[in-house]
Amino acid sequence: MRDLHGRELLRQEVEQVWSIDRSEVTDNVYRFENGDLVLRPEHHDLSGWPPGEADQYTPILLDCFDRGGWFHGLFDRSQVVAVVTLDSERIGKRSDQLQLKFLHVSRSYRKSGLGRRLFELAKATARERGAKQLYISATPSENTIDFYLRLGCVVAAEVDPHLFELEPEDIHLECHV
């Protein structure tokens, strides 16, 4: 295993998240149909971040950082290879959830436990911040949803209307912290 080190990101490092190799080939996606998660064949060959994604989401991530969001990166030397972000805004009917806003691991570092490591760190941080649950709006790819389900996430009992409006194709999950 490579010698990785982790630490909180500085504000000026937030844009480095776009250097993570997001590429992935997936043949199935989940859809939420009639109250159930259903796996459907749908091929996607993602070769990286969609055009314009960095321009659109960098200001959102910087706003999250500025209001007290938590950003933790894993580095191979000076290169960021995985990042997890936890928003500071409380959501949910009881205001007891924090959104897991961003969790990505570079392609060549996947399947090595880094995603689980970052997820568990985010859960611990959410707990320290007084949250009862993480809220996750996850891309519907089979690999992504299966990852979260293995970690104990379930379909959100109550979907956050604002996050659903932003990403209606996502699968909205929650996890006790």
pLDDT tens-digit readout, 59-76: 999 999 999 999 999 999
Name the DSSP class of 68. Answer: T
Tell me the C-alpha distance between 105 and 23, whole Å: 10
Q: In the prediction, which pLDDT does 3 show? A: 78
With a CB cutoff of 8 Å and minimum separation 6, the contacts of 46 are 22, 23, 24, 25, 26
Q: Which helix (H) or strand (E) holds 134?
A: strand 133-138
Answer yes or no: is pLDDT of 95 > 80: yes
Is the pLDDT at 1 greater than 80, yes or no?
no
pLDDT of residue 134: 98
Domains and CATH numbers, the chain: 4-176 (3.40.630.30)
Nearest to 135 by CA among 176, 106, 169: 176
pTM for the structure as a whole: 0.94
For the ranges 32-36, 45-49, 128-132, 157-161, the one whose mean pLDDT is highest: 128-132
Say how far apart CA 88 and CA 67 lie, in whole Å.
Answer: 7
